[in-house]
Structures are given as structure tokens and as C-alpha cells.
């Protein structure tokens, strides 16, 4: 049997990973994935690395899946509770995207804590209308730099109680990186269609120009959202 998986086998692997995360909130081990798809261990490992290279998922140094946006396999500060499944959201953006992406879960409870004062916050997130809330969403890493270290960037997409909590947090943690702040309804609009089609065969990520157009359509413009540099958004 060939060592390297075919393009079709890599796509089968991608679909299996995303199906498991969408329906179960977790993903099987590489050995279990290989067994399900009738692949060798080396084919599965090569397939996962190919998906990492194409930015369909993110592996850690041990080749374990950490992120398959919008799903995470570890705690990034956001839990997403549906009727039958509980997920980790990879960031504020991803957590709000899950109910838009998973058809069986039209309503979820997204929960987090303010990174500054640890006050808990929760929102009922649906596909119908943005949730209420006057909290402040903050993204620290400009879109063009996200994939230089996507795990680091995702951990810095958080929600704060208000501007005062965010301002104090910035002074303590990264005073020279103001990032970009916006409101919860804008976050909901950003998340709404960003991952559309990701659970389907043949999904293609947006090119930088299309990403910038999408950001503008939800009211997010300016240098922070410029994706024309080589390192673009997830």
C-alpha cells in the first residue's frame, strides 16, 4: 500500500475529523481514524500533516489535533453547550461560529470569563439574531499575522466585561499591541458565515481578497483586517 495518502483519502480524513468534532465534540486517536478509513498509520499521519499544511487543522508538536476551526480539542477559554454536545471553541470567533455551522444545534450557550477580572459571561447564540450584551470583544493579533502562530493568536481573541477591563488588561499584558475592539453583535455577524461549507466535501478556504471582502461586509475594515500579506486569517 502506498505510503502517502491520495488527495481523496486526505479529504476523507478531513471530513471524518470534522464530523466527529461537530457531532461529538471530540476526535478519535490517529489509530482509530486510520482503522475507520482503512488507512495505515503512516498514511494517516501524512494526511494529518497535509491538513495542517493546508490550514484545515492545527497539530501540536506531537502531531495531535489542537484546532480544527471552529472546533478545539483543548480549553481556549470558551465552552459551547448545545442540546446534545459540548464543545471547546477555539476563540471568541470560533465559539460564536459553532451554532451557525452545526445544523443539529440551532442554539447554544457560549460561556467564558473576562480575562482581566474573571467575571463569568454567557450568551444564548442562535442563527436567528445576535445575542444581547454590552461586553467588549478584543482581537490582539492582526489578521495578516494570525498564521505565524495560530494557537497564540486564537488565545488572544477574547471577550472582556467592558473597556475598563480591557484597558487594564492591555497595560498588564501587551501595552504596545492595541489590537482591535468591537461589540458582541459584530462578533455574531463575523462568525455567521465565515466557516460556511466547512463540513462539506470539497470545502475551500477563502483567498485573502475574499476574506477582506467578507470582513468589510460585517463592518470590519482597516489595516487590522488586511489579509493581503502571506499570513492570513484561519
Domain termination residue (choose one: 31, 48, 68): 68
Angle value at C-alpha 123, between 108 and 55, nearest 5 degrees: 65
pLDDT digits (tens, 9 = 90+) for 162-221: 999 999 999 999 888 899 999 999 999 999 999 999 999 999 988 888 999 999 999 999
Supply the range of the domain harboring residue 11: 7-68
| CA 51/CA 14 separation, integer angstroms | 7
pLDDT for residue 234: 61
- Same domain? For 145 and 198 the reply is yes
Residue 50 pLDDT level (bands cut at 50, 70, 90): very high
- Same domain? For 32 and 78 the reply is no
pLDDT for residue 7: 96
- Same domain? For 180 and 105 the reply is yes
Q: Residue 136 maps to which CATH number?
A: 3.30.450.410
Rounded alpha-carbon distances, angstroms, from residue 157 to 141, 146, 151, 154, 170 = 8, 11, 10, 5, 13
- Same domain? For 91 and 156 the reply is yes
- Same domain? For 38 and 82 the reply is no
Please indicate, yes or no, if residue 134 is contained in any of the structural domains. yes
Read off the pLDDT of each residue in 47-66 and give the average, rounded to a whole number.
95
pLDDT digits (tens, 9 = 90+) for 84-121: 999 999 999 999 999 999 988 889 999 999 999 999 99
Read off the pLDDT of each residue in 127-137 and give the average, rounded to a whole number.
95
Number of domains in the chain: 2
- Same domain? For 94 and 139 the reply is yes
Q: Residue 61 maps to which CATH number?
A: 1.10.10
Would you give the DSSP letter of residue 124? E
Per-residue pLDDT for 16 more than 90?
yes
Please indicate, yes or no, if residue 233 is contained in any of the structural domains. no
Rounded alpha-carbon distances, angstroms, from residue 102 to 112, 132, 217, 223 = 20, 21, 22, 32
**Of 192, 68, 77, 57, the residue nearest 138 (C-alpha):** 77
Answer with the residue of higher pLDDT: 159 or 132: 159
Domain termination residue (choose one: 45, 68, 91): 68
Please indicate, yes or no, if residue 210 is contained in any of the structural domains. yes
Amino acid at each position: 500500500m502506498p505510503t502517502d495518502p491520495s488527495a481523496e483519502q486526505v479529504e476523507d480524513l478531513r471530513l471524518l475529523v470534522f464530523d466527529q468534532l461537530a457531532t461529538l465534540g471530540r476526535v478519535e486517536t490517529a489509530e482509530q481514524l486510520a482503522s475507520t478509513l482503512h488507512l495505515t498509520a503512516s498514511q494517516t499521519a501524512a494526511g494529518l500533516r497535509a491538513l495542517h499544511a493546508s490550514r484545515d487543522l492545527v497539530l501540536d508538536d506531537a502531531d495531535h489535533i489542537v484546532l480544527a476551526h471552529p472546533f478545539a480539542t483543548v480549553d481556549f477559554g470558551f465552552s459551547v453547550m448545545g442540546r446534545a454536545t459540548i464543545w471547546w471553541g477555539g476563540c471568541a470567533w470560533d465559539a460564536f461560529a459553532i451554532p451557525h455551522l452545526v445544523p443539529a444545534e440551532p442554539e447554544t450557550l457560549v460561556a467564558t470569563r473576562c480575562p482581566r477580572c474573571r467575571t463569568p459571561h454567557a450568551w444564548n447564540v442562535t442563527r436567528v439574531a445576535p445575542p444581547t450584551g454590552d461586553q467588549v470583544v478584543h482581537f490582539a493579533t492582526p489578521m495578516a499575522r494570525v498564521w505565524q502562530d495560530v494557537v497564540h493568536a486564537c488565545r488572544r481573541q477574547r471577550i472582556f466585561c467592558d473597556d475598563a477591563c480591557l484597558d487594564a488588561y492591555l497595560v498588564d499584558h501587551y501595552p504596545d499591541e492595541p489590537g482591535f475592539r468591537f461589540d458582541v453583535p459584530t462578533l455574531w455577524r463575523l462568525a455567521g458565515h465565515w466557516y460556511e461549507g466547512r463540513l462539506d466535501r470539497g470545502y475551500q478556504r477563502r483567498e485573502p481578497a475574499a476574506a477582506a471582502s467578507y470582513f468589510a461586509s460585517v463592518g470590519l475594515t482597516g489595516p487590522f483586517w488586511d489579509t493581503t500579506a502571506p499570513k492570513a486569517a484561519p
